[in-house]
Structure 1
Amino acid sequence: MVDIRDVEVIAPNFKRRLSGVTSTIIQLIPVQRALGQKIAVLGPGLPKNLPSVRFRDLLHLWRRPAGRPCRVWHARRNVEMLPAILLRDLLRMKIRIVFTSASQRRHTGWSKFLIRRMDAVIATSAKTAAYLEVPNTVVLHGIDTKRFRPPGDKAEAKRRLGLDPSKKFVGCFGRVRRQKGTDLFVDSMIALLPGRPEWSAIVAGRATGSHLAFESELKERVVKAGLADRILFVGEHTNIPDWYQALDLFIAPQRWEGFGLTPLEAMATGVPVVATEVGAFSELVAVGDEETGLIIAADNLEAMVNGAAVFMDDLPRLAAAGANGLARTSKNFAIEAEARAIGAVYENLMR
């Protein structure tokens, strides 16, 4: 816990289950604090080591923080916007509200009602900004380039995970479900691997609830194709940066995505990316002169097979794209840059 009198920004998290939004908060808060932003979290489902305030501390919001006219409440969900509006407009507490939107679809009438009452709005991509009907600032997500980085020795990185260091690996990481396109990845590997004995594939991630049957069906397809020893379902891992370090190519096969950090995680590790044209992927992956990968049509198996083959069959191009991806993330997508851009929005509201 921190003293709310020393807090200028509150980042609420009103959802217990881990989600992409929660993960964003967990990664950003320590970086924001390191940059001097006086921010703390509020709510359940967050690590104990994050600076936090209690609900009863909100009584202090009637008072200004030292040297500031107000505090900032940074909401990322409808359920976090509504109480802030009540605190500001009904109880007249001294706060201003920022909302970050990652949605890439038309907002409901209720969401529009809430968003129109924000003091500032952040969009996580240009695509997201296009769905907003209010002025906004685009701040792309960043990546922790200290956590996600190339291995010193690629063969040793594979060996540590029990993988054959003489093989090349293409991976697909994330929740195992149709929306994430796991079936497209598996089917593309079933098409590609028989003619490329030097390559194998890794599916890292967890299937939950109704998606367990989907995962079982995919595993059956792999067995029937005779590729059970080359298309590996390794489950969910807390050491996911280690698995990126073992890869030579990454595929992001999503049919739909709000933003999607996995291409950045791969690029920061020096791994080229083949990604579908969803979420912010086309804003992350560079094509052309400084190629870091390819953007392909969503929900298109032929495009995925052809896109992966481009790199699997051209090792110099694979290596060049990996090096370009590492340079691009270091220059444009470090999480510190995201934290500074968000901090500038806070400063504008607290002047």
Structure 2
Amino acid sequence: MPKTKTYVDPAGIHVIAPNFKQRLSGVTSTIIQLVPVQNRLGQKVAVLGPGLPSHLPHLRFRDLWKLWRRPEGADHRIWHARRNIEMLPGILMRDLLRMPLRLVFTSASQRKHSGWTKFLIRQMDAVIATSAKTAQYLEVPNTVVMHGIDCDRFRPADDKPAAKRACGLDPDLRYVGCFGRIRHQKGTDLFVDAMIALLPSHPGWSAIIAGRATPQHMAFEEELKAKAAAAGLADRILFVGEHTNIDDWYRTLDLFVAPQRWEGFGLTPLEAMATGVPVVATDVGAFAELIETVGEATGSVVNPNLQTISAAIDLLLSQDEVLHALGTNAHRKCREKNSIEKEASSVFSVYGQLA
């Protein structure tokens, strides 16, 4: 039986996070992870819309008329939109219905905006970019606030062999992983092809692909499984499906690969680094801003093609000491720079500028 949603009175809410898209996406995931932390820090945030878990504080659409009243302890509310379909209602409520709202928009896009999107963005009171690369595509003043990660959930294994056994893996093997949606855009085929080329020369390693293929990508996934089987590597290139305890699977890894061809931001490298796992990632999304490649490096950033990805992986598979050092740096720097608490505090600072 589905859990009953927790509905709250708008009077005590200072920030509204609308989510007007039913299907799970990176934006939805951001809201799910960030809102509890914001509330824990005293920011009084509620969500509005479908596709969000019941434990989050929800507003009812039928209570929106109450937004004409100022919230307790403030002279306005923040309407924090992350899509066009969420910016537009905010504009109508603020400008047409004269509700005491301030509009904030977070952009993760790394392409030129349409004329309509540019118009909507110009109506915002504040704009947040999730990376410096994203900020380059905005034509209005903005603040860069990078996504953060729950560093308590994503943490290194206390006992890595035990972590592997808990997931049904061989504790004597080392594992390189590629987690996320299985599709061409995510470069899952690049990872499989790299593993087919490299694993025969590295007998102590196996590969894990964790994630779901949506119906339109199931044939793509089956082709990859067939390719691994044809190479005689079906028992070393493991498709383990989608898991709610994905943090446990990160703790089984010794190396993580993010082979995306395109990405808006991309949280999986952060999840790996918070778990103390070094990363080889393509130069898309915010990966180049997340992964340090010089000094106290945390991994490698390469062009999104099979040759460069394979070469970067191959360089690390036989260097245990380097992997350990990269993983140690990754864990420490992620906690210092990319915690979700840091993201929530930075977002709150943007809200504060609108007082």
Give the TM bin, normalised by the shorter chain: over 0.9
2:262 pairs with 1:251: no
Equivalent of 2:317, from 304, 312, 319? 312
Report 1:101-180 matches (<5 A). 101-180=107-186
Q: 1:67 Cα shift?
A: 3.2
CA–CA separation in structure 2 for the residues paired with 1:265 and 1:67: 37
Query: What SS is found at the alignment partner of 2:285?
Result: coil
2:237 pairs with 1:231: yes
Q: Deviation string for 1:285-338 (max 9, x for gaps)?
A: 01111110000001x101011100111021110100000000110100010000
Q: 1:3 Cα shift?
A: 1.3
What is the identity, as a one-letter code, of the residue corresponding to 1:28?
Answer: L
Query: What SS is found at the alignment partner of 1:180?
Result: coil
**Greater Cα offset, 181-190 or 49-58:** 49-58
2:298 pairs with 1:329: no
Structure 2 match to 1:17: 23
Q: Deviation string for 1:206-263 (max 9, x for gaps)?
A: 1112211111111111011000000000011111000000000000000000000000
Q: 1:137 Cα shift?
A: 0.4
Structure 2 match to 1:291: 297
What's the C-alpha RMSD, in Å, of the aligned pairs? 0.7
CA–CA separation in structure 1 for the residues paired with 2:303 and 2:156: 28
| Residue ranges of structure 1 left out of the alignment (5+ in a row) | none
Structure 1 match to 2:348: 343
Q: 1:57 Cα shift?
A: 1.6
CA–CA separation in structure 1 for the residues paired with 2:85 and 2:116: 11
Report 1:52-71 matches (<5 A). 52-71=58-77
What is the identity, as a one-letter code, of the residue corresponding to 2:339?
Answer: A
CA–CA separation in structure 2 for the residues paired with 1:64 and 1:204: 46
Q: 1:153 Cα shift?
A: 0.1
Aligned residue pair count: 349
CA–CA separation in structure 2 for the residues paired with 1:261 and 1:161: 22
| Residue ranges of structure 2 left out of the alignment (5+ in a row) | 1-6
CA–CA separation in structure 1 for the residues paired with 2:53 and 2:216: 28
* TM-score normalised by length of structure 2: 0.97
**Greater Cα offset, 126-135 or 59-68:** 59-68
CA–CA separation in structure 2 for the residues paired with 1:46 and 1:67: 27
Q: 1:66 Cα shift?
A: 2.7
List structure 1 runs of 4+ shifted beyond 6 angstroms.
none
2:306 pairs with 1:301: yes
Report 1:208-227 matches (<5 A). 208-227=214-233
Q: 1:92 Cα shift?
A: 0.8
